[in-house]
Structure 1
C-alpha cells in the first residue's frame, strides 16, 4: 500500500465553510476535453471547497478504503516543515500551484520511495522534471481542469482595469459619491487591441471569450494556430513578442516560465508599449520584472497591471505589488474556483486510480512518464 502526501492550502481564516453561496455548481458535461469523471463515485459534492486542508481534495475515503495512507499538510515553510518531515516516506505527492512546493533534485534524492508527483492545477515549474525523469518518477498535472476559470479571470481583470472598477467600488465603500473621480480613468474594452502571449489552452480560451467584445485580437506563439481559426476569430498573428507589445493596448500573458521567458516583460519592453497600456499576467510572476511594473504604474507608462501569480508565494507583507496603485491583484486564485476544484479533484482521483492499477495515465495529464 502507498503513502499519499497532499500539500494543500490552509482552511479559510473564518473556518471551513458550513454552507455555500450556491447549491452546487452549474452542470457542464466537459470542459477543455476533461470530463468530471465517474461523478457518481466521487466522495464529494461538486461545489464544495476541496483544495484546502479540510477539503482534502475529496480523496480520503477513496484512498483509505483501498488501504492507502493519506496525509494532508499545509506547512511548507522552512527546513522543519510538515511537508519535509513527511516527504522521505511518501510514495505519492499531490500539490497545488496556489500553495507551491518545490521538489528540487535534492528533495527528490531525499525521498527514496517517491514514485508519483501530481500537481492539482496548472504548472510543474516547482518540480525538477529532469531529476524526476532520472529517478523514474512519474509527474502529472491537471492543468486542463482550470482552463475556463483562468480564462474568465483574465477577461475579468481586463474589464476591472479598463473600467477602473476598483476605484468606483472604493468610492461607495468609503462612503463617497464621487462620480467624476470614479470615471476619470474609465474606458470601454471595445475598440482596444488585445495581444495574447501564448496561445495554448488558456490563451486560446481567452481569445475565444474576447471575440465578442469588439476588440482587435492579436497573438504570439511559437506554433501558429490553424488558418481557419484565425479567420473565425479575426486573429492577427505576430511571431515576435517585442513587435506584438508595440501594437496593442492590453497584453495578456499565458506563457510558461522558462529561461527564455524569464523577465520577458522588462523595463525596455514596457517602454516600447503605447503609453497607458495594461498588462495581465496569470501565468508566473517572474515572466515580468517586478520592480519595472511598480515603476511603470507610478510613472503612468502603464495604466494598470492585473496579476494572480506572485514571487515568492506567499509574498511577504512588504511585497511592493500589495500596495501598487491601479493594480488588480489576486492571491493565485484564478484556477481555483469551486467548479475548477471539482474538476481538478476528479482528475487527481483518475490519475491515482490509473497509477494504482498500473494503467496508462491520460495523456492530457501526463508530464513525465516514469515507468
Structure 2
C-alpha cells in the first residue's frame, strides 16, 4: 500500500520534538550528519520526495533548481531569511517557497540590544581581560571606562517587527529613537516610542550614536551601508548587525574601524565564505569588534516555533491550500509548467 504522507528531506538536524512530530506526520529523511549538504547530496536525497526543508546553509541556486526531481513541489525554508534561495528561478519552475517569519522577533531584538550594551560598556573586553590576564590588579577609578547609553541616539535601519522591538527595548535604556525605512510607521507605533522618522538615510547616519540594521536583504538594500555611507557615519559611533552580512560593505567597515572613525561594531553575521576576515579577528582581540556566532535567533523556543511553522506550511500546502508564509520574488516573471 502506498503511503499518502508527504515525503520530505530535512537538510539539518532540528530540535528533537520537531523531528519527532515530522516523523509522525510525514515520511521524513533527516541529514543525521548535520553538516551542510552539497548540491549533489541534496539532489540524491530528494529522489521521490515532495518537499525540501532547507536552511540558510543550503545554496539553492538556479542551477540546482533546474536539476530538482519533478516530484519536488515545495521548498520549506527553516528560517526567516531566504537569500540562499533563487526565488526567481523557483517561481519560474513552478515551485512554492515558504519561510518562518515573526517567530524570531523577540530573540533577535534581545540579541541586538545585548550587543548595543556590550559595545559602549566594553563587556566582552572586560571578560577577555580577566580570562587572559591572571595578574589583573583589580578595580581602579580609570579602568575599563566605557560610555553611558542614556541620552544617546539610536538609528534603526528598517523599522519592521524586529526594528520596532529593538526600539521598545532601547527606550527603556534612555536612548532616543530614530529610524529610516521605506515607509513611515503609523502614529500608533511612532508616538509611544517618541521615534523620529528620517527619509534621508545619509542624514540619519550622521546624527546618531549607534546604528542597528534590521532591513531585509533585497536588490535595493544590498550594501545599504556602502563605503561612502560608513564614512559618513558620526565619528565615534557604533554599528550593530544581526541581520544579513550583505547589508554592509564589510571591507569598508574594517577600514573605518582601523582608522578610528568608528568606535566599534558588533556583528552576528559576516562574510565568511573563506573564514572570518583576519582583520576582524584582530579588531575583536583589541576590543573594537564584538563577534558572535550567528546566534541572534538561537534559543530553543525560537527553533521549536520555527519548526512548528515549517510543519504548518507543509501541511497546508499538501492539503491543496496556499501556505501562510509563501514567498514571492521581488518581480515575478511568467511561470513555467507546474511541477
* TM-score (norm: length of structure 2): 0.86
Secondary structure of 2:31 counterpart: strand
1:316 aligned to 275, 297, 306, which one?
Answer: 275
Q: CA deviation at 1:357?
A: 2.2
Query: Conserved in 1, the CA contact under 8 Å of 2:241 and 2:267?
Result: yes
Report the counterpart of residue 124 of structure 2 in structure 1: 166
1:277 & 1:110 partners in 2: Cα distance?
47
Report the counterpart of residue 149 of structure 1 in structure 2: 107
Secondary structure of 2:103 counterpart: helix
CA 1:110 to 1:151, structure 2 compared with 1: closer, same or farther past 3 Å? same
2:157 & 2:7 partners in 1: Cα distance?
40
Secondary structure of 1:331 counterpart: coil
Matches within 5 A, 1:1-371: 1-8=5-12, 53=13, 55=14, 58-66=17-25, 68-72=27-31, 74-76=34-36, 82-87=41-46, 89-97=48-56, 100-112=57-69, 113-174=71-132, 175=134, 176-177=136-137, 179=139, 182-184=143-145, 186-312=146-272, 316=275, 319-325=278-284, 326-362=288-324, 365-368=325-328
Query: Conserved in 2, the CA contact under 8 Å of 1:164 and 1:182?
Result: no
Structure 1: tracts of 5 or more residues without a match: 9-52
CA 1:57 to 1:247, structure 2 compared with 1: closer, same or farther past 3 Å? farther
* TM-score (norm: length of structure 1): 0.79
1:340 & 1:260 partners in 2: Cα distance?
28
CA 1:64 to 1:297, structure 2 compared with 1: closer, same or farther past 3 Å? same
- Superimposed CA distance per residue, residues 228-286 of structure 1 (whole angstroms, 9 cap, x where no aligned partner): 32121100000121111011000001112222222222222122112111001111111
2:248 & 2:100 partners in 1: Cα distance?
25
Secondary structure of 2:217 counterpart: coil
Query: Conserved in 1, the CA contact under 8 Å of 2:37 and 2:58?
Result: no
1:61 & 1:214 partners in 2: Cα distance?
45
Query: When the two structures are aligned, how many residues end up with a matched partner?
Result: 319
Q: Please tell me the root mean square deviation across aligned C-alpha atoms, in Å.
A: 2.3
1:234 & 1:164 partners in 2: Cα distance?
28
